[in-house]
Structure 1
Amino acid sequence: MIPVQGFDGRKVMVLGLGRSGLATARALRAGGAEALCWDDGAAGRAAAEAEGFALHDPMAPGAFDAVAALITSPGIPHLYPAPHRAIAAAWAAGVPVDNDVGLFFRSLGLAGWDGLDEPPRVVAVTGSNGKSTTSALIAHILRTAGRSVQLAGNIGRGVLDIDPPESGGVVVLELSSYQIELARALTPDIAVFTNLSPDHLDRHGGMGGYFAAKRRLFSEGGPDRAVVGVDEIEGQYMANQLAEGPGDARVIRVSARKLEGPGWDLVTRKGWLAEMRKAKQVAAIDLRAVRGLPGAHNHQNAACAYGACRALGLAPKEIEAAFHSFEGLPHRSQRVAEIGGVSYVNDSKATNVDAAVKALGAFTRIRWICGGLEKEGGLAALAPAAGEVVKAYVIGREAAAFALKLGAIPHEICGDMATAVARAAAEAQPGDTVLLAPAAASFDQYDSFEHRGRDFMEQVGKLRG
C-alpha cells in the first residue's frame, strides 16, 4: 500500500467505494487521515462499514465542514454530462476534488526514497486502444529482464494498493481518460500515448474534451520522456508541443508510416519494427513471428512498449527476446482454440469501431461475430476494413438494426453468442478465423466485455464435444 501523505489528522471524504475507492480509503487511513466514506449503492456502503470506515452522506447539512478534500472514483462524472451532486456540493463548499491517481503521484516520492540507491520510475500509458496490452507488455519485458516491476491503474491493482517500490523498481500504470482528467498531480517519468479514436464522448463533452483529458498526462506532468503515436492528428500536435526542436530525443514518435527527421522514431511497417535515430536505423525486429502480438495494431503496441523500455535503458535484444514470451491479454486478440483447422479468436475488448477495424486487419478469411450496444460515431468506418470478412454473425438486443448498418457485408442475425458461435462454426472452412470483435459495448447483454469474452470462450469450448 502507498500511504497517502499530506492529510495526517484531517478528514477526507471518499466518494465511490468500488475497488479503487476502498483502496483509497485504506491508504488514507494508513497515512493518518480520517476517511469518511460514501457510495450511492448500499453494497458499497456495507463494504466500507465492514472494514470499520465511517459513512458520511455528502448531501447531509454541513457535510463538508472540516473536510480537507473529496476523493472521487473515476466512473463518477464531475463535469459532463453533469457533475455528480456530491461533487457540485464540494465545489460550492470550496473543498478540493481529486482522485486516487492524484493522491498516488502526490504521495509516492515523499517518504523513504532518500534511502534508496536508485529512485523508482513510473511509466504511465494512455490512449484509446492498446493501452492495456502496451502496459502489460512493458511490465512483461521489464520482468523478463530481471527488473522489479508492478502493474497497476486501469489494469491489475489500484494505484494506491501497490507495494512501495524498491530501489530501481518500475511502476507501470495504465490510465484512462477518466483517471487522468481529475488528478491534481501527474508526474510520470515516462508517458506513453498510443492513439486516439472517438470514445466516451458524452463523458468528455466531445472529441476535443476527450483529447484534452488524455493530454493532461503530458502537459501537467512534464514527463522526462514521452512516447507518442503520431498516426492521428492529435498525436502529431502533442509530439510537436512537447519537442523543443526537430532532434529532441525526449519525444519518441511511433508510426506505421515512414517518418522524416533527425529525432528518435519507431516505425512499424510490413511486420517489422525499426528504431531510427537521426534518420539512421539502429535496430530492427521482425514482429511477424511474435504469436502474442498479431496484426498491425499490436505492432503499434509493441513499438510503444519498446520505446518505453528503451527509455528505461533496456537493449533491443532484451526487448525482442521478451516479445516472444508474451502471451497477450485475455479478450484482446486472444487465440482461444483451433478446431478442425479453424482458429477462434476472442477480441471482446474491441468495444469501439476503431478497435474492431484493427482486429479485422490482423486476420484473413474471417467469420466475424459483432454487435452489441452501438457507440457514438456510427459504423461507417467498418466497411473499408471488412475485405477479409467472409460473413458477419450479429449479436445483441438490437442485432437487426446493427446488421442494417453493415451495408454489403454478408451477414446473419443471430441475437445471442451461442447461436453466433454455432452458426460460424458450422459454416467455417479450414483456414478460416472465427473472430469476436464486436465494435460495440457489451452492456445490452453482459456485465462487461470480459463477461462477453468468457461466454464466447465457453461456446467455443462446447464445439470440442
Structure 2
Amino acid sequence: MIQVCGFDGACVAVLGLGRSGLSAARSLRAGGAEVWAWDDNADARERATAEGFTVRDLSAPGALDQVAMLVVSPGIPHLYPAPNPIIAAAWAAGVPVDNDIGLFFRSLATRDWDRFDSLPRVIAVTGSNGKSTTAALIAHVIGVSGRAVQLAGNIGRGVLDIDPPGDGAVVVLELSSYQTELARALTPDIAVLTNLSPDHLDRHGGQGGYFAAKRRLFAEGGPDRAIIGVDEDEGRFLANQMAESPADDRLIRISAAGKLAGPGWSVFARKGFLSEWRKGRQVASIDLRPIAALPGAHNHQNACAAYAAARCLGIAPKQIEAAFNGFRGLPHRSQLVAERDGVRFVNDSKATNAASAAMALAAFPRVRWICGGLEKQGGLAPIRPHLGHVAKAYVIGREAASFALHLRDVPHEVCTTMAVAVARASAEAQPGEVVLLAPAAASFDQYDNFEARGADFIAEVERAGRA
C-alpha cells in the first residue's frame, strides 16, 4: 500500500466507494487522515462501514465544512455533462477536489528513496485504444529484463494498492481520461500517448475536452520522456508542443501508418517491421509478423510504444524482441480463443468504439463480424474503409436492429444475443476466415462490462465446438 501523505490529522472525504474509492480511503487512513466516506449505493456504504470508515452523507448541508479535500472516484462526472452536486458543493466551499491518481503521485516518493542507488521510475500510458495492451507489454518487457515492475491503474491493481517500489523498480500505469482529467499531480518519468479517436465525448464536452484530458498527462508535470503517437492531428500537435527542436530526443514519435522522417528519435511500424531511427539513421529493427499476440497494425502501434518506453530504460533491442515473442496478450483484446477446421475465433470485446473495432477488422483479411451494443457518439465512420474485410456481420444488443442500419449494404443478420450470433457465425464460417467479436459499442445494454461480454463470447464458442 502507498500511504497518502500530507493529511495527518486532517479530515478527507471520499466520494464513490468502488475499487479506487475504498483503496484511497485505506491509504488515507494509513497516512493518518480521518476519512469520511460516501456512496449513493447502500451496499457500498455497508462495505465501508465494515472496514471501520465513518460513513457520512456528503450531500447534507454543511457536510464539507471540516473537510480538507474531497477525493472522487473516476466514474463520477465533475464537469460534463453536469457536475455531481457534491463536487459542486466542494467548489462552492473552496474544498480542493482530487482523485486517487493525484494522491498517488503526491505520495509515491519517500525518504527511503534517499538510500537507493537508482530511483524508481513511473511510466504512465494513456490513449483511446491500445493503452491496456501497451501498458501490459511494457511491464512484460521490463520484467523479462530482470527489473522489478508493478502494473496498476486502469488495469491490474489500484494505484494506491501497489507495494512501495524499491531500488530501481518501475511502476507502469494505464490511465484513462477519467483519471487524468482530475488528478492534481501528474508527474510520470515517461508519459505515453498511443492514439486519439472520439470516445467518452459526453463526459468531456466533446473531442476538444477529451484531448485536453489526455494532454494533462504531458502538460501538468513535464515528463523526462514523452512517447507520442503521431497518426492523428492531436498527436502531431502534442508532439510539436513537447519538442524544443527537431532533434530533441526527449520526445519519441511513434507511428503505425508509415515511415517517420527527421533528425529526432522515432519508432514506427511498416509492413510488419518495427524500426527505430535516431539522428536520421536506423539503429534497430524487429519483425513483428510472427508474434501471435500482436496481430494487426493497431498492435504494431502498441509494440512501437512499448519498445520506445523500454529503450528509455536502457533495455537493448534484442532483449525487447525476445520479450515480445514471449508476450501472451491480454484477455478480451485480440485474444485467440479457439481454432477449428481452419476458422479462428478472436475475442476483442474491448473494442468498445468504432476506431478500435476498425483496427480489429483491419487485422484480418476475411471476417465474420459480431458487433453491436450500446452505441457511442460518432457513429461507425472509422469502420467504413475496412468493411470490405467483412464476409457477414452478426448484430447483437438490445437495439440490434437500429445498429444494423449503419451497416447499409454489408451482408448482416440481426441476432440480438451472443448465443445466436456465435452459433450462426460458426455454422457459416469458411476455412481461413475469422469469427471476430469487435462490438464497436459499449456493453452495458446487456452486460455489466466488456469482460462479461467477452466471457460470454468464449463460452458460446466453446458450446458451438461441442455441438
Q: After TM superposition, is the score higher than 0.5?
A: yes
Show the counterpart of 1:314: 315
Show the counterpart of 1:174: 174
Show the counterpart of 1:406: 407
Structure 2 unaligned spans of 5+: none
User: In the comparison of the two structures, how many residue pairs are matched?
Assistant: 465
Q: Residue 90 of structure 1: SS of its match in structure 2?
A: helix
Q: State whether residues 383 and 409 of structure 1, in contact with CA within 8 Å, keep that contact through their aligned partners in structure 2.
A: no
Q: Which residue type is aligned with residue 247 of structure 2?
A: G
Q: Residue 392 of structure 2: SS of its match in structure 1?
A: strand
Question: Is 1:415 paired with 2:416?
Answer: yes
Q: After superposition, what is the alpha-carbon deviation per residue over 1:189-236, rounded to whole angstroms, capped at 9, x for unaligned?
A: 000000000000000000000000000000001000000000000000
Q: State whether residues 5 and 110 of structure 1, in contact with CA within 8 Å, keep that contact through their aligned partners in structure 2.
A: no
Show the counterpart of 1:129: 129
Between the aligned partners of 1:124 and 1:381, the Cα distance in structure 2 is 27
Between the aligned partners of 1:274 and 1:315, the Cα distance in structure 2 is 14
Q: How far does residue 64 in structure 1 lie from its aligned partner after superposition? A: 1.2
Between the aligned partners of 1:28 and 1:118, the Cα distance in structure 2 is 27
Q: Residue 91 of structure 2: SS of its match in structure 1?
A: helix
Show the counterpart of 1:446: 447
Between the aligned partners of 1:287 and 1:229, the Cα distance in structure 2 is 18
Show the counterpart of 1:281: 282
Question: Is 1:259 paired with 2:254?
Answer: no
Between the aligned partners of 2:75 and 2:306, the Cα distance in structure 1 is 27
Q: Which residue type is aligned with residue 386 of structure 1?
A: L
Show the counterpart of 2:237: 237
Q: Residue 387 of structure 1: SS of its match in structure 2?
A: helix
Q: Which residue type is aligned with residue 120 of structure 2?
A: P
Between the aligned partners of 2:300 and 2:205, the Cα distance in structure 1 is 31
Q: Which residue type is aligned with residue 45 of structure 2?
A: R
Between the aligned partners of 1:101 and 1:70, the Cα distance in structure 2 is 13
Show the counterpart of 1:161: 161
Q: How does 1:361-400 map to 2 (within 5 A)?
A: 361-400=362-401
Show the counterpart of 1:30: 30
Q: After superposition, what is the alpha-carbon deviation per residue over 1:3-39, rounded to whole angstroms, capped at 9, x for unaligned?
A: 0000001100000000000000000011011111001
Show the counterpart of 1:7: 7
Show the counterpart of 1:464: 465
Question: Is 1:94 paired with 2:89?
Answer: no
Show the counterpart of 2:223: 223
Show the counterpart of 1:356: 357
Q: How far does residue 110 in structure 1 lie from its aligned partner after superposition? A: 3.3
Q: How far does residue 464 in structure 1 lie from its aligned partner after superposition? A: 2.3
Show the counterpart of 2:334: 333
Q: Residue 407 of structure 2: SS of its match in structure 1?
A: coil
Between the aligned partners of 1:104 and 1:96, the Cα distance in structure 2 is 16
Q: Residue 390 of structure 1: SS of its match in structure 2?
A: strand
Deviates more, 1:125-134 or 1:390-399: 390-399
Between the aligned partners of 2:101 and 2:110, the Cα distance in structure 1 is 15
Q: State whether residues 338 and 344 of structure 1, in contact with CA within 8 Å, keep that contact through their aligned partners in structure 2.
A: yes
Using structure 1 for the length normalisation, give the TM-score.
0.99
Q: Which residue type is aligned with residue 54 of structure 1?
A: T
Between the aligned partners of 2:59 and 2:295, the Cα distance in structure 1 is 50
Q: Residue 464 of structure 1: SS of its match in structure 2?
A: helix
Question: Is 1:18 paired with 2:21?
Answer: no
Between the aligned partners of 2:330 and 2:464, the Cα distance in structure 1 is 23
Q: How far does residue 381 in structure 1 lie from its aligned partner after superposition? A: 2.7
Between the aligned partners of 1:401 and 1:91, the Cα distance in structure 2 is 41
Q: After superposition, what is the alpha-carbon deviation per residue over 1:388-429, rounded to whole angstroms, capped at 9, x for unaligned?
A: 111111111111111111012111111110000000011111
Between the aligned partners of 1:42 and 1:309, the Cα distance in structure 2 is 44
Between the aligned partners of 1:167 and 1:383, the Cα distance in structure 2 is 49
Using structure 2 for the length normalisation, give the TM-score.
0.99
Q: Which residue type is aligned with residue 282 of structure 2?
A: Q
Show the counterpart of 2:45: 45
Show the counterpart of 2:299: 298
Structure 1 unaligned spans of 5+: none
Q: How does 1:70-89 map to 2 (within 5 A)?
A: 70-89=70-89
Between the aligned partners of 1:384 and 1:305, the Cα distance in structure 2 is 27
Q: Which residue type is aligned with residue 417 of structure 1?
A: M
Moved over 6 A (4+): none
Q: How far does residue 61 in structure 1 lie from its aligned partner after superposition? A: 2.5
Between the aligned partners of 1:384 and 1:66, the Cα distance in structure 2 is 56
Between the aligned partners of 2:243 and 2:201, the Cα distance in structure 1 is 28
Q: Which residue type is aligned with residue 434 of structure 1?
A: V
Between the aligned partners of 1:250 and 1:386, the Cα distance in structure 2 is 39
Between the aligned partners of 1:395 and 1:463, the Cα distance in structure 2 is 17
Between the aligned partners of 1:152 and 1:159, the Cα distance in structure 2 is 5
Between the aligned partners of 2:92 and 2:37, the Cα distance in structure 1 is 19
Q: Which residue type is aligned with residue 321 of structure 2?
A: E
Q: CA RMSD in A?
A: 0.7
Q: State whether residues 383 and 407 of structure 1, in contact with CA within 8 Å, keep that contact through their aligned partners in structure 2.
A: no
